[in-house]
Amino acid sequence: MAVVFTAFALAVPAAYAAVSSAEETAADQVLTWTAGDDYMKYTSAPATAVAGKATIVFDNSTAAGNTTGLTHTLTFDTSNPDYNNDVSLNILASPFDSQGGRHTTEVTLTPGVYRYFCAMPGHQMMVGELVVTSAPGDDTTAPDASATVSGMKDDAGNYVSSATVTLTASDTESGVATIEYSLDGAAYTPYTTPIAVNTVGQHTLTYRATDKAGNTSTAKTLQFTITAPEPPKDTTAPDTSATVTGTKDNNGNYVSNATITLTASDTESGVATIEYSLDGAAYTPYTTPIAVNTVGQHTLTYRATDKAGNTSTAKTLQFTITAPEPPKDTTAPDTSATVTGTKDNNGNYVSNATITLTASDTESGVATIEYSLDGAAYTPYTTPIAVNTVGQHTLTYRATDKAGNTSTAKTLQFTITAPEPPKDTTAPDTSATVTGTKDNNGNYVSNATITLTASDTESGVATIEYSLDGAAYTPYTTPIAVNTVGQHTLTYRATDKAGNTSAAQSVNFTVVAAPPQDRTPPQVSASVSGTKNDAGDYVGRATVTVTASDAESGVARIEYSLDGGPYLQYSAPVAIDRAGSHTLLYRASDKVGNTSTPQSLSLTVVDSEPPTDCPEADGRSTVFTGSINTGVPNRVTANGCTINELIEDHRAWKNHGTFVSHVGEVVTTLRKQGVIDQREAAAIKKAAGQSDVGTPDHGPTRH
């Protein structure tokens, strides 16, 4: 790239089209844009329109809010292939023009998106989009529909516990009317919110969309799998509590007896056991509420252990029992029994049954419950009775209260049957993934790693086997690393616990040797050409040519920096025509990122013609806008003037907006010439907007 520094014009471009609609016939729709004092955005703009004729109104008048006299344009972008390019519109409007800032014209819009912006220098932030849809009845194209799945994945790419499917559709003509979906073959359902799926297994979701003209898209299909989560590790002991019930006297002591109910909860692995110690005795497993009827003071200590082995800190409960007046109880307790378990179609219990006995006595209270299973001797009842012997069973039970009254025995009959063994005839599902660094031909560089997975929803996976390049099958335990250069074929299969073996599948891949690494930066050199005077200085212009070579990965780019400026991309000889002494730094980088040490050359250019006149001299070391110091160096520009001299912040300006526009034009030209970089250009424009230059309170600036 040749860099030629030339003078630039500071006037606003005059080639904008001013359009009036005094003789225009009104179109089917009117679209109005307004602008004002803000050079960052339009005051208002339409977002949508319908294809066909339209009257465009651009209002930058005083009535629309322009009080500073800023000039704006409404320009349709015809150079960007991502937008419609069939309307050429470029309206320049100012409150002081012949139309008073309000202009109209008629255009014909087609379906799609138009990009519009303000072409005034420094105003390019004023930009937007106009979406044009087809007129009703012209739409024959179905919508585009798409689907995404989100959720936590396992190593096999399956979703753990649940997955959420989000459906979207777009239609640039009549617009989307409905989206529908079918999950696992069910009837189509209207889509309103993302679809949450939490059933373990493979799923198929079919979806389609219909636009407002009745066009329905071809159904698309999405497949995914949900797996059950692994159980969490429990390190927290259970929470425990105790309650004491019984009849109290006026002193709060329990009369005759007290019953202590212990409870424990564990939200992770669950409670395994509860234990208690009464009056210093050894810990005893807690199964039913503890009845204490010994007169005197008592201390009960209790704790619980969960299924992960975590035991809670022991807690203590104290209470006192006093002797009651002798009750007169002649009524035996009431008893009942319930049986729980899984039943078959005949009402029999499969594998096992649990019998829970209860008894109540409203006078002296229940002392004991006893039971006899299948004619055996009576046994004290403490916890629910688990029976798992296949066959018919008879359980007899009774209860005795504290006054010695025993209830009449009751009988319960039930049958236990053996469960049918499951029949697994389906082989496991298998898959393989190959990972590693690939070259441009898709081959793996140095090595490849193959990961095998298998799943079986019935009896479960027993083994996975593989054969590499025709060798005997080997049990798979960890990912297989292959680093032998050449083509490879890996065959794999899996067998479940019922003996079903899947059909063998194969994956092919190639391993190639790694190329040598490039650690050497390019060789770079520079030469200067031009007309020299007797002193060896270049008259009018000097041209610097930079070359670089790299015998390994090759040269990626060459860069140069002129007189301390930012590094710029080198694409053609650099022309330097500004009088004075110059220093040019140059360097090159290869395709793997090695950059050469910057080299330097110095030269002097003398004028062949008298220098350009500059405004009033301003040699401050940094660039100012009014009283604001931007921190940007006050460099000499292409025509010999400093940046401050071109900005002219000391001049009497018509208003603040005019000054800001002028600064925008200056920095745009300096940016193109390479005098300042993008960050410095932004800093100068921001300072101009924040300054008071052009306001009534702004006085002359002293240099």
CA dihedral 168, 171, 175, 176 (to 10 degrees): -30
Task: Give the separation between CA 575 and CA 698, rounded to whole angstroms.
Answer: 41
For the chain, give the longest Cα–Cα distance.
140
Quick check: 427 and 502 in contact, CB under 8 A? yes
Q: Give the residue from 545, 540, 531, 537 showing the smallest Cα distance to 573.
A: 545
Tell me whether residue 305 is in a domain.
Answer: yes
User: Are 282 and 217 within one domain?
Assistant: no
Tell the residue number behind the tokens 């930009």, with chain if given: 127
Tell me whether residue 539 is in a domain.
Answer: yes
Task: Give the separation between CA 274 and CA 301, rounded to whole angstroms.
Answer: 11
Tell me whether residue 272 is in a domain.
Answer: yes
pLDDT at 514: 84
Average pLDDT (432-448) is 93
Provide the mean pLDDT of the chain. Answer: 90
Q: CA 104, 105, 111, 117 torsion: positive or negative? A: negative
pLDDT at 701: 47
Crossing angle (nearest 10°) for helices 656-673 and 678-690: 170
Task: Give the separation between CA 351 and CA 374, rounded to whole angstroms.
Answer: 18
Neighbour-count burial of 136, counting CB atoms closer than 10 A to its CB (0-12 exposed, 13-18 middle, 19+ buried)? exposed
Average pLDDT (332-336) is 96
User: Are 119 and 168 within one domain?
Assistant: no
Tell me whether residue 23 is in a domain.
Answer: no
Tell me whether residue 9 is in a domain.
Answer: no
Does this model's pTM top 0.75? My answer is no
User: Are 154 and 206 within one domain?
Assistant: yes
Higher pLDDT, 531 or 486: 486
Task: Convert the pLDDT of each residue in 606-645 to its tens digit.
Answer: 987 555 677 777 778 899 998 999 999 988 887 778 898 8
Q: Which of 254, 289, 322 is the last residue of a domain?
A: 322
Q: Which of 364, 383, 417 is the last residue of a domain?
A: 417
User: Are 189 and 217 within one domain?
Assistant: yes
Identify the CATH number of the domain in which residue 289 sits.
2.60.40.10
Cα 444 to Cα 492, 518, 567, distances in angstroms: 20, 19, 38
Residue 311 DSSP class? B
93: tokens are: 């409007």
What strand order describes the sheet that includes 290-292?
239-245, 258-265, 290-292
pLDDT confidence band for 15 (50 / 70 / 90):
very low
Tell me whether residue 49 is in a domain.
Answer: yes
User: Are 35 and 129 within one domain?
Assistant: yes
Residue 702 has pLDDT above 60, yes or no: no
Which residues, in sequence order, are bridge partners of residue 431? 453
User: Are 307 and 353 within one domain?
Assistant: no
How many structural domains is the chain composed of?
A: 7
Task: Give the separation between CA 592 and CA 579, rounded to whole angstroms.
Answer: 39
Tell the residue number behind the tokens 């899996």, with chain if given: 494
Residue 295 has pLDDT above 60, yes or no: yes
Residue 687 has pLDDT above 80, yes or no: yes
Q: Give the residue from 430, 433, 464, 438 showing the smallest Cα distance to 451.
A: 433
pLDDT at 104: 97
Tell me whether residue 260 is in a domain.
Answer: yes
User: Are 158 and 102 within one domain?
Assistant: no
Task: Write out the residue range of the structural domain in which residue 92 sits.
Answer: 29-133
Task: Convert the pLDDT of each residue in 308-320 to its tens digit.
Answer: 999 999 999 999 9
Task: Give the separation between CA 590 and CA 519, rounded to whole angstroms.
Answer: 10
Q: Which of 322, 356, 377 is the last residue of a domain?
A: 322
Q: Give the residue from 515, 526, 513 showing the smallest Cα distance to 554.
A: 515
Helix (H) or strand (E) holding 355: strand 353-360
Tell me whether residue 232 is in a domain.
Answer: no
Cα–Cα–Cα angle for 453, 456, 459, rounded to 5 degrees: 135
User: Concatenated DSSP letters for 375-404?
Assistant: TPPPEE--SPEEE--SEEEEEEEEEEETTS
What are the strands, taking DSSP E only, across 151-295? Answer: 159-160, 163-170, 176-183, 189-190, 195-197, 201-211, 220-227, 239-245, 254-255, 258-265, 271-278, 284-285, 290-292
